[in-house]
Amino acid sequence: MGQPVPQLASKAALARAQQPGLAGWVEAVNRSCSRALLLGALVVGMGLPPTAWARPGVVQTRDGRTLHGELRLTNDAVVVSASNITVVPLTELAMFRFEAAPLGDDSAQGGQGHGLLGYYFNGTNFTGDVVVRLDPTIDFDWGAGAPVRGLGRDLFSVIWMGELEPPVSGTYTVGIEVDDGGRLFLDNQLLCARWARQGQAEAAAQVRLQAHRRYALRFEYCEFWGTASARLFWSGPGILRQVIPRGRLYARSFLDEHAAEVRGNRGLLATYYRNSNLTGPTFTRVDPTIDLDGTESVPEPSFSRNSFSARWTGQVRAPRTDVFTLYLVADELARLWINDQLLLEVAEPGVAERGVQVPLRQGQRYDVCVEARNTGGGLVARLLWSSPALPKTVVPAADLLPWRPSLPSSGQTGGGLVHPAGVLLRNGSFLAGSVQRATETVVEVRTRGNQRVVSTPTVARLYLQPVREPLLMQVSPGRRGVLLPSGDFVDGLFRRLEAGRLRLSSILFGARTFQVPQDVLAVFIQDLAIQAQPFEVRLCDGSVFCATRVRLAVDTIQVHDPLLGPELISAEDLESLARY
């Protein structure tokens, strides 16, 4: 059956379609070719090579349409390939965003896994109250901090469970790295263990695995005192030693009292507790949204309709940079946390709604947690949002992820979003990368494999390590100096960063010298002076350009930033573009 005729939205495309004979040719192709062939014919006619780089994504137009499909960049337009082919000119574009790379793309070994279910217990014997997470990889360095909200820094235990799927047959080395103790089971057989009160230690074993067969995996971990860390790694045929990637791990539970059915990679991880106070046996699944009106059946047959509770965890991604209002609706006690900060609480009987305004950046991911209890015959819980450009609606599955990623630790305590290392300019633009050298006149930064030089008077901050956003937010506007890994701030004027040493001129302490990057998280040079620009362009590495104008071309985008000048960016490096 023929496919719909492509929507040729740009003037150039319309002009080409009006050339003699071309309309009939398109119609003939439409009748006889598959959508893939039609796309090839279309993009060649537009001057876009058939091999143009593409990735799944979403487009929003200025008249309110939302289009999902494979996105390709061409001359001042975005081609959306779905059930039909739509060309959206730059002039009609409100936003486009490439989706997070497909599951399993964190390794060349592919796979479609979700990660492992993690059951976090207070105490070291794997019993009692539990917090459940979906962990995409086991690559944690908690330092002296707590692993999740609600647990202490010491005397806790974790069981990670799921299935392991190797990409090829052969002999693998599979192991764990732990501080304090851990043991690893594969198909119910103990594979390796380091079970003691100790510093960081490693255990591994060789095992023969068959391609695409799934092996039951269980990783038990225990923390007694001091620092804590846990990693699950492998090496094998064609695979250098690495943390086992998410795509090769399939979440499952092997505990009768904590059942689970985890499917889908959009929505939030929902853990339902048999008791109304987030205790007792659990049932875990992925809910696409939080939109319960009290009429739904119980989540698991053994639950009572009159007494259970729920916790939803994961991440929310803002579709645009704006001040959003988040709404929580419930008929009993319910709470909302963003980046581990309690923002909303509904506490009175009867259906009630509470709202709070939160500034969110387009494409940024924020940790989210919602808890609700039910003692009255049906759970009412809804999570909605709105903004000046977005009508009030339930937060959609497309903007929710069921996991909270493993994040490298720099010794910082506390949770929340981690900001990458790089240079923050006064206008809000950000170059992700490694700061090589800085003086009072120039800053040298290595970003995306290239050495860049920017003028120090245009720079607001230097991030010398990945730093958690809550620490940055604690620094009052107007302060100048350095932020330390402990969270302490030393006031002073920045002088120089060279050869691994940073010099600061402090009124109280005189000249100070710090070893970098280990002794300094961030340098605050001057205040931000953000002025709204027509476009915001975000890259996959965390870089942001606040642009006065942009030009789209085949597989590239050119942005003009007032402080950085023109910048040519490959589509492969691009995460999103938004118009304001």
Digit-coded pLDDT (tens) for 124-147: 999 988 999 999 999 998 888 889
- Report the domain count for the chain: 4
Are both 230 and 355 inside the same structural domain? Answer: no
Quick check: is 165 in a domain?
Answer: yes
Are both 242 and 318 inside the same structural domain? Answer: no
Quick check: is 577 in a domain?
Answer: no
CATH number at residue 242: 3.90.182.10
pLDDT confidence tier of residue 52, bands split at 50, 70 and 90: low
- Burial class from Cβ neighbours inside 10 Å (0-12, 13-18, 19+) for residue 307 reads middle
Are both 121 and 233 inside the same structural domain? Answer: yes
Taking all residues of the chain, what is their mean pLDDT, rounded to a whole number? 84
Q: Give the least confident one: 13-17, 171-175, 189-193, 571-575.
A: 13-17
Are both 317 and 372 inside the same structural domain? Answer: yes
Q: What is the pLDDT, as a whole number, of residue 100?
A: 55
Does 46 score more than 50 pLDDT?
Answer: no
Distance CA 67, CA 100 (A): 16
Please, what is the end-to-end C-alpha distance for the chain in angstroms? 41
Q: What are the tens digits of pLDDT across the range 57-87?
A: 889 898 888 888 889 999 999 999 987 899 9
Q: Which residues contact 550 (CB under 8 A, 6 or more apart)?
A: 90, 535, 537, 557, 558, 559, 560, 577
Are both 126 and 213 inside the same structural domain? Answer: yes
Share of the chain above pLDDT 90, in %: 54
Distance CA 568, CA 480 (A): 33
Are both 80 and 120 inside the same structural domain? Answer: no
Q: What are the tens digits of pLDDT across the range 96-126?
A: 988 754 333 333 346 788 899 999 999 999 9
Distance CA 288, CA 98 (A): 20
Are both 189 and 227 inside the same structural domain? Answer: yes
Tell me if the bond preceding 517 is cis, omega within 30° of 0.
yes
Does 7 score more than 70 pLDDT?
Answer: no
Phi then psi for residue 413, to 5 deg, are -95, 160
Q: What is the pLDDT, as a whole number, of residue 518?
A: 81
Domain end point (choices 401, 434, 456)? 401
Does 395 score more than 70 pLDDT?
Answer: yes
Q: What is the pLDDT, as a whole number, of residue 84?
A: 87
Distance CA 6, CA 42 (A): 8
Q: How far is CA 380 from the centre of its chain?
A: 28
- For residues 547 and 404, the model is more confident at 547
Does 6 score more than 50 pLDDT?
Answer: no
Does 15 score more than 80 pLDDT?
Answer: no
Reference 268, options 285, 249, 250; nearest CA is 285
Are both 397 and 273 inside the same structural domain? Answer: yes
Are both 88 and 153 inside the same structural domain? Answer: no
Are 454 and 431 in contact by the 8 Å Cβ rule? The answer is yes
Q: 22 is in which domain, residue-wise?
A: 7-98
Quick check: is 317 in a domain?
Answer: yes
pLDDT confidence tier of residue 362, bands split at 50, 70 and 90: confident
Quick check: is 411 in a domain?
Answer: no
Q: What is the DSSP letter of 397?
A: G
Are both 164 and 219 inside the same structural domain? Answer: yes
